[in-house]
Amino acid sequence: MSTKAPSPVKAGAADSLEKIAYGSVAGIPASDPHDQDRLGYTIWMWLKHRRDSLEQAVRSANARLLISDEEALKRIRQHLTSHGVTL
Protein backbone atom coordinates (compact mmCIF):
# COMPACT_ATOMS: atom_id res chain seq x y z
CA MET A 1 0.00 0.00 0.00
CA SER A 2 1.36 3.41 -0.93
CA THR A 3 0.63 6.83 0.44
CA LYS A 4 0.40 9.88 -1.74
CA ALA A 5 2.13 13.09 -0.80
CA PRO A 6 -0.14 15.80 0.60
CA SER A 7 -1.49 18.42 -1.75
CA PRO A 8 0.66 21.54 -1.98
CA VAL A 9 -0.58 24.56 -0.08
CA LYS A 10 -0.63 27.83 -1.96
CA ALA A 11 0.34 30.75 0.27
CA GLY A 12 -2.01 33.72 0.33
CA ALA A 13 -1.11 37.14 -0.94
CA ALA A 14 1.11 39.18 1.38
CA ASP A 15 -1.29 42.12 1.24
CA SER A 16 -4.43 40.15 2.08
CA LEU A 17 -6.46 41.10 5.16
CA GLU A 18 -5.76 37.72 6.74
CA LYS A 19 -1.98 38.10 6.44
CA ILE A 20 -2.12 41.65 7.78
CA ALA A 21 -4.36 40.71 10.72
CA TYR A 22 -2.43 37.64 11.81
CA GLY A 23 0.87 39.42 11.18
CA SER A 24 -0.20 42.22 13.51
CA VAL A 25 -0.43 39.78 16.45
CA ALA A 26 2.53 37.56 15.54
CA GLY A 27 4.92 39.18 18.00
CA ILE A 28 2.48 39.50 20.88
CA PRO A 29 3.23 36.96 23.62
CA ALA A 30 0.24 34.95 24.81
CA SER A 31 -0.06 32.16 27.35
CA ASP A 32 -1.42 29.80 24.68
CA PRO A 33 -0.98 29.82 20.87
CA HIS A 34 -4.76 29.59 20.53
CA ASP A 35 -5.09 32.93 22.32
CA GLN A 36 -2.86 34.51 19.69
CA ASP A 37 -4.94 32.87 16.93
CA ARG A 38 -8.16 34.12 18.51
CA LEU A 39 -6.74 37.65 18.71
CA GLY A 40 -5.64 37.45 15.07
CA TYR A 41 -9.11 36.29 14.02
CA THR A 42 -10.69 39.14 15.97
CA ILE A 43 -8.40 41.66 14.27
CA TRP A 44 -9.27 40.15 10.89
CA MET A 45 -12.99 40.51 11.66
CA TRP A 46 -12.39 44.10 12.75
CA LEU A 47 -10.57 44.87 9.50
CA LYS A 48 -13.39 43.30 7.53
CA HIS A 49 -16.38 44.93 9.25
CA ARG A 50 -15.08 47.80 11.46
CA ARG A 51 -18.15 47.74 13.68
CA ASP A 52 -16.47 48.62 16.99
CA SER A 53 -13.24 50.30 17.94
CA LEU A 54 -9.93 48.47 17.74
CA GLU A 55 -9.71 48.63 21.53
CA GLN A 56 -13.07 46.88 21.84
CA ALA A 57 -11.98 44.23 19.35
CA VAL A 58 -8.86 43.43 21.38
CA ARG A 59 -10.87 43.24 24.61
CA SER A 60 -13.56 41.04 23.04
CA ALA A 61 -10.95 38.47 21.94
CA ASN A 62 -10.44 37.58 25.62
CA ALA A 63 -6.90 36.51 24.79
CA ARG A 64 -4.65 35.79 27.76
CA LEU A 65 -1.78 38.04 26.77
CA LEU A 66 1.51 38.25 28.62
CA ILE A 67 1.65 42.01 28.03
CA SER A 68 -0.89 44.73 28.79
CA ASP A 69 -3.76 45.42 26.41
CA GLU A 70 -2.34 48.92 25.86
CA GLU A 71 1.02 47.52 24.74
CA ALA A 72 -0.72 44.99 22.50
CA LEU A 73 -2.82 47.76 20.93
CA LYS A 74 0.30 49.85 20.35
CA ARG A 75 2.01 46.96 18.53
CA ILE A 76 -1.10 46.12 16.50
CA ARG A 77 -1.58 49.76 15.48
CA GLN A 78 2.07 50.06 14.40
CA HIS A 79 1.80 46.93 12.26
CA LEU A 80 -1.50 47.97 10.69
CA THR A 81 -0.34 51.49 9.84
CA SER A 82 2.92 50.16 8.38
CA HIS A 83 0.80 48.04 6.04
CA GLY A 84 -1.34 50.98 4.92
CA VAL A 85 -4.42 50.38 7.07
CA THR A 86 -6.08 53.62 8.12
CA LEU A 87 -7.22 53.62 11.72
Q: How many CB atoms lie within 10 A of CB 5?
A: 5
Sequence ranges of the domains in the chain: 17-82
One digit per residue, the tens of pLDDT, for the chain of length 87 reads 578 888 888 887 888 999 999 999 999 999 998 999 999 999 999 999 998 999 999 999 999 999 999 999 999 999 999 999 888
* Calpha distance 11→48 (Å, rounded): 20
Task: State residue 13's pLDDT score.
Answer: 85
Task: State residue 12's pLDDT score.
Answer: 79
Task: State residue 1's pLDDT score.
Answer: 59
CB-count exposure of residue 18 (10 Å: 0-12, 13-18, 19+): middle
What is the model's pTM?
0.84
Task: State residue 44's pLDDT score.
Answer: 96
Ordered DSSP codes for 49-71:
H--S-HHHHHHHTT--BSS-HHH
For the chain, the straight-line distance linking the first and the last C-alpha, in angstroms and rounded, comes to 55
